[in-house]
Chains A and B, each alone.
Chain A
Amino acid sequence: MFNLHYKLEKYSIRFAVAIILVAAVGGIVEIAPLFTIDETVEQDPNMRVYTPLELAGRNIYIREGCYACHSQMIRTLRDEVERYGHYSLAVESQYDHPMLWGSKRTGPDLARVGEKYSDAWHVRHLTNPRAVVPESVMPSYTWLEKDLRTKDLGQHLAALRKVGVPYTDAMIEHAAQDAYGQANPDSDAAAGVEERYGEATHIRSFDGDSRKTSEMDALVAYLQILGRLSDAATQTPPSAAPSTAESSVTEEAPDGN
Chain B
Amino acid sequence: MIQQLTKFERRFGLVISVLVAGAGLTLIGMSEDGLLAIHGTIILAAGFIAALLTGGTIHEPEPDAKRLESYYDDPIKFGIIVSMIWAVFGMFMGVWVATLLAYPEWTFDAAWSSFGRLRPVHTTGVIFGFGGNALIATSFHVMQRTSRARMADQLSPWFVLLGYNLFCILAVSGYFMGITQSKEYAEPEWYADIWLVIVWVAYFALYMRTLARRREPHIYVANWYYLAFILVVAVLHIVNNLAVPVSFGHIKSYSAFSGVQDAMTQWWYGHNAVAFFLTAGFLGMLYYYLPKRAGRPIYSYRMSIIGFWGITFFYMWAGSHHLHFTALPQWVQTLGMTFSVMLLVPSWIAAANALLTLNGAWGKVRDDATLRFMFLAAVFYGLSTFEGSFMAIRSVNALSHYTDWTVGPVHAGALGWVALITFGSFYALVPWLWKREGMYSSKLVEVHFWLALSGTLVYVFAMWNSGVIQGLMWRTYNESGALAYSFNESMVAMHPYYIARAIGGLLFLAGAVVGFYNIWKTTKMDTVQSSVPSGDGLIADDASHSR
> A-side interface residues toward B, CB under 8 Å?
1-3, 6-9, 11-13, 15-16, 19-20, 22-27, 29-31, 33-35, 37, 41, 59, 62-69, 71, 73, 75-77, 79-80, 82-83, 87-108, 129-130, 133, 135-143, 149, 152, 155-156, 159-160, 162-165, 245-246, 248, 252-255, 257
Contact = CB atoms under 8 A, between A and B. Distances in A.
A228 to B, nearest CB: 16
Given A37-B329, A65-B180, A99-B263, A26 B339 contact: yes
Given A98-B182, A103-B184, A88 B475 contact: no
Given A31-B261, A76-B325, A139-B104, A68 B232 contact: no
A98 B398 contact: no
Question: For A3, A19, A142, A254, which residue has the most chain B Cβ atoms within 10 angstroms?
Answer: A19
B474 A27 contact: no
Interface of B: 6, 8-9, 12, 32-33, 100-102, 104-105, 107, 109-111, 114-117, 119-120, 152-155, 175, 178-184, 208-209, 211-213, 219, 224, 227-228, 231-232, 235, 239, 243-247, 250, 252-266, 268, 272, 276, 309, 312-320, 322-333, 335-336, 339, 395, 398, 401-403, 406-407, 474-475, 477, 482-483, 487-488, 491-492
Given A68-B119, A105-B402, A155-B247, A59 B331 contact: no
Contacts of A160: 254
Nearest to A1: B153
B114 A83 contact: no
Contacts of A25: 313, 316
A27 B101 CA distance: 35
Contacts of B487: 83, 107-108
Given A19-B227, A143-B110, A65 B119 contact: yes
A137 B495 CA distance: 9
Contacts of A91: 259
Given A159-B253, A159-B254, A246-B395, A1 B402 contact: no
B312 A19 contact: yes
A96 B262 contact: yes
Contact of B212 (A12, A92, A103, A108): A12
Given A106-B101, A152-B33, A245-B475, A64 B111 contact: yes
25 contacts: A1-B9, A13-B208, A23-B232, A23-B313, A27-B316, A30-B319, A37-B260, A63-B178, A64-B111, A68-B115, A68-B116, A75-B401, A89-B327, A95-B259, A100-B182, A103-B402, A104-B406, A108-B487, A139-B114, A139-B116, A152-B246, A155-B247, A156-B252, A248-B398, A253-B329
